[in-house]
Chains A and B, each alone.
Chain A
């Protein structure tokens, strides 16, 4: 990473994609807290801190990648296909026997696809959704424990849809054996789930692994796994393949330890670190779920992410998506693309149409960036210690364009005089209540965004409005249809004025709950 960062500074990023690239880079760097941390004394964009910058060749790879950048997720979509059901380790947060017990939507039970079916599905989805730019092979199972199926799928997709980026998520055990093969297939990036570098910690997370024709248990198993993960990461870095690290935060087991993990993966060249909350409830049937292991609260998660932020790029928008989800942001159109439907579809993959569509999307993104910048200028010169979180209901496009009652998730931004920073999202969809079945949905939503001062929506009914107010959350619909960050900055300015004039008093909010949705084998592989 070192050399790469220096180069980014030196050769000036403007050359590649025109004058605006600088601003877009600032957007991507926001996951690292760029432009928001002036007060805390941390590096901020424009101050010459090289680690916030990306070299153009990496930028080219990640700018339209919804898994790397929340901003990109507003405009581009990814999809996963489940072709690789086998796994070579066991994680205590994974139940390989069942899908989520709460998952009751018809037609979305995790399907097993052959590589041929998977490739057809990819073409069908990409034709219907031109924003679909990334194909991942993720769980259930480990793609590299099913190398033939995984590589066959990539081969077929690369042949018919060369513009689609490919990625794999792996537990890393088999990674060193396949790095060279991955390099051949022109893989865009690899995600490794690394939850520990200390085998003693690992023994509490992984009961066993299957390696070289033998089952290993406990510390011995964790030691092998850790060595293989780090070796795989080093090999990727040597070959110039981007790597992202996922870590599952398990309170009392690896929460403190993840700071060490962060350093270890950074020093080996990982590009991005994504710390995700453990999702754990008894009805998921996982070891952790059945043994009462809790997941972190929103505040605990944010504190750990902030702690690691000085070290490297942190990712805060991972949705731990279901492996078979299709669409933009919280959207899921998978019901349109079931195996039966796909096999009957006539797919006409048109590269030119996709390109034209994506060009239009780029224009829209520019507009979002411009709008934010102009509003941010008005904030220059303001100084205040006040920091607050706001929740936003959006369908994508960088706008406040979702009704309160329709939102399946809220995006959370931190506001300060340094600007806006995306800090995460809170799922509130009702498909998988994970423990709150009896509670009414409004209470669930309030719990999920309880740490926010305001919620921005396109529209909201009178009843929820009053309930939100009673809970101390300001329901804001006056920015309907407008750009999120521009509106948030405007709101914040307004708020500061009111505090100054004594019209309102600033009070800190409490913690919020991370909804315990489905995390079955579908994630974390």
Chain B
């Protein structure tokens, strides 16, 4: 499973982008941010809490993406 950003909530503040240990977050053309599910490890192996969730100023914006299976640490 990976995290995703709820587009309607994102303010484009960019706070999450530099905090991701996997460079999974990038800016879109409309100035908002997206997570690449292929790169997201839910921060497992790096930090106790997902960094995008910890820094995002808007509640319920960085959330689990149910479309992907749980991330398995190698």
Q: Which residues of A contact B (CB under 8 A)?
A: 85-88, 90, 96-97, 112, 140-141, 145-146, 210, 213-215
Contact = CB atoms under 8 A, between A and B. Distances in A.
Given A112-B31, A214-B48, A215-B49, A87 B57 contact: yes
A323 B12 CA distance: 17
Contacts of B12: 85, 112
A96 B57 contact: yes
A345 B22 CA distance: 39
Nearest to A141: B13
Contacts, number: 45
B44 interface: no
Contact of A87 (B15, B48, B49, B51): B15
B58 to A, nearest CB: 6
A224 B33 CA distance: 29
Contact of A97 (B11, B14, B15, B48): B11
Given A96-B57, A210-B55, A215-B54, A88 B49 contact: no
Contact of A214 (B13, B49, B58): B49
Interface in B1-37: 9, 11-15, 19, 31
Given A96-B13, A141-B13, A213 B54 contact: yes
Contact of A90 (B11, B48, B57): B57
9 contacts: A85-B13, A85-B14, A85-B15, A87-B13, A88-B55, A97-B11, A140-B13, A210-B55, A215-B54
Contacts of A140: 13
Interface centre among A85, A86, A87, A210 (most CB of B within 10 A): A86
Interface size class of B (residues with CB under 8 A): 10 to 19
A86 B13 contact: yes
Tell me what chain B mostly uses at the interface: helix, strand, loop, or mixed.
loop
Given A87-B15, A88-B15, A90-B57, 12 more contacts: A85-B11, A88-B55, A96-B11, A112-B31, A140-B13, A141-B13, A141-B15, A210-B15, A210-B55, A213-B51, A214-B54, A215-B49
A-B complex: 5 closest residue pairs judged by Cβ atoms: A86-B15, A215-B54, A96-B57, A85-B13, A210-B55
A109 to B, nearest CB: 12
A88 B15 CA distance: 8
A338 to B, nearest CB: 16
Interface of B: 9, 11-15, 19, 31, 47-49, 51, 53-55, 57-58
B54 A96 contact: no
Contacts of A141: 13, 15
B19 A146 contact: no
A96 B58 contact: yes
Contacts of A85: 11-15
Nearest to B43: A213
Contacts of A86: 13-15, 55
A180 B11 CA distance: 31
Nearest to A216: B54
Nearest to A149: B14
A112 B13 CA distance: 9
A96 B10 CA distance: 10
A333 to B, nearest CB: 25
Given A96-B57, A97-B58, A112-B31, A213 B15 contact: no
Contacts of A213: 19, 47, 51, 54
Interface centre among A97, A112, A145, A213 (most CB of B within 10 A): A213
A49 to B, nearest CB: 45
Contacts of B51: 213
A484 to B, nearest CB: 41
Contacts of A97: 9, 11, 57-58
Nearest to B14: A86
A514 to B, nearest CB: 26
Contacts of A215: 49, 53-55
Contacts of B13: 85-87, 96, 140-141
Nearest to B17: A86
A291 to B, nearest CB: 16
A97 B56 CA distance: 11
A86 B49 CA distance: 19
A96 B12 CA distance: 10
